[in-house]
């Protein structure tokens, strides 16, 4: 009996709370390619990243791709496919409802200016009346015909008010502040730039990285 084979499938969905740009960069780094070359994977629809691999290899792909923020499905090769994954779909990366089954080999970019809608809905131009009598107002002109009148606020006589000189103390009775007593700090010195000032820093736990030496894009 032959060994069952599986497809590694991606529907353009990233894990909740993950940044889409960061996930794209991580995926490009994982497969040693440019981010622009894998952007089409995130446009929605069913994308087969790797087809007909063993169960062990499928688990490696699943672990590596889930670790960088993707939502991955492992599907038995040859089984009928659903139109959408069972995982909850984040609002900012929802797959298209009319997604079609495709693999990376079938993805291409249309030429600039190509109309991508095969049967666009015709739009009837709206009739515009005679506008020959309309002209543009000059720059700075008041285009409001009946502006709301604003009553000017009455100001008292301020002729006896003058500005203090620069640096003058304008507080007549400032609160006296008692200087804080500082202990002898003559024995203190500054650490050099870049020095580790924490004597016993807590060792950071490193996330386990699965073996991805056998992974590649189809």
Contact 60, 211 (CB under 8 A): yes
Residue at token pair 């700075």? 140
Q: Name the token pair of 217.
A: 């894009």
pTM above 0.75, yes or no: no
What is the percent of the chain where pLDDT is above 70? 79
Confidence category of residue 205, pLDDT binned at 50, 70, 90: confident
Least confident span in 77-81, 152-156, 183-187? 77-81
Query: Residue 94: pLDDT above 60?
Result: no
Higher pLDDT, 59 or 157: 59
Q: Report the pLDDT value the prediction gives residue 115, as an integer from 0 to 100.
A: 61
Q: What angle do CA 206, 13, 23 make, to 5 degrees?
A: 40
Q: Name the token pair of 166.
A: 């620069």
CA proximity to 9, closest of 68, 75, 65: 75
Q: Name the token pair of 21.
A: 């740009």
pLDDT single digits (tens) 103-142: 444 445 566 666 656 666 777 887 888 878 888 888 878 7
What is the average pLDDT across 193-199? 76
d(CA 184, CA 110): 74
Q: Report the pLDDT value the prediction gives residue 218, as an integer from 0 to 100.
A: 65
Higher pLDDT, 18 or 116: 18
First CA to last CA distance, the chain: 26
What is the average pLDDT across 199-203? 75
Contact 85, 11 (CB under 8 A): yes
Query: Residue 101: pLDDT above 60?
Result: no
What are the boundaries of each domain within the chain? 6-106
Q: Residue 8's CB: how many other CB atoms inside 10 A?
A: 25
Residue at token pair 């720059």? 139
DSSP E strands in the chain: the ranges are: 6-14, 46-53, 70-76, 101-103
36: DSSP letter: G
Question: Mean pLDDT across the chain, nearest whole number?
Answer: 76
């Amino acid at each position: 009996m032959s060994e069952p084979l599986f497809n590694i499938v991606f529907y353009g969905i990233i894990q909740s709370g993950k940044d889409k740009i960061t996930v794209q960069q991580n995926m490009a780094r994982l497969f040693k390619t440019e981010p622009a070359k894998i952007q089409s994977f995130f446009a929605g629809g069913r994308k087969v990243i790797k087809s007909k691999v063993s169960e062990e290899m499928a688990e490696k792909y699943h672990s590596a791709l889930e670790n960088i923020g993707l939502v991955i499905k492992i599907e038995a090769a040859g089984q009928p496919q659903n139109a959408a994954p069972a995982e909850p779909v984040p609002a900012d990366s929802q797959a298209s409802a009319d997604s079609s089954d495709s693999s990376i080999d079938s993805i291409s970019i249309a030429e600039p200016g190509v109309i991508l809608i095969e049967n666009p809905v015709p739009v009837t131009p709206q009739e515009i009346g005679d506008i020959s009598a309309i002209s543009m107002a000059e720059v700075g002109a008041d285009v409001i015909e009946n502006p709301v009148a604003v009553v000017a606020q009455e100001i008292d006589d301020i002729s006896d008010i003058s500005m203090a000189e620069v640096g003058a103390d304008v507080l007549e009775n400032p609160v006296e502040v008692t200087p804080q007593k500082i202990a002898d700090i003559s024995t203190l010195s500054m650490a050099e730039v870049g020095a580790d000032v924490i004597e016993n820093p807590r060792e950071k736990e490193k996330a386990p990285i699965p073996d991805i030496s056998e992974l590649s894009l189809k």
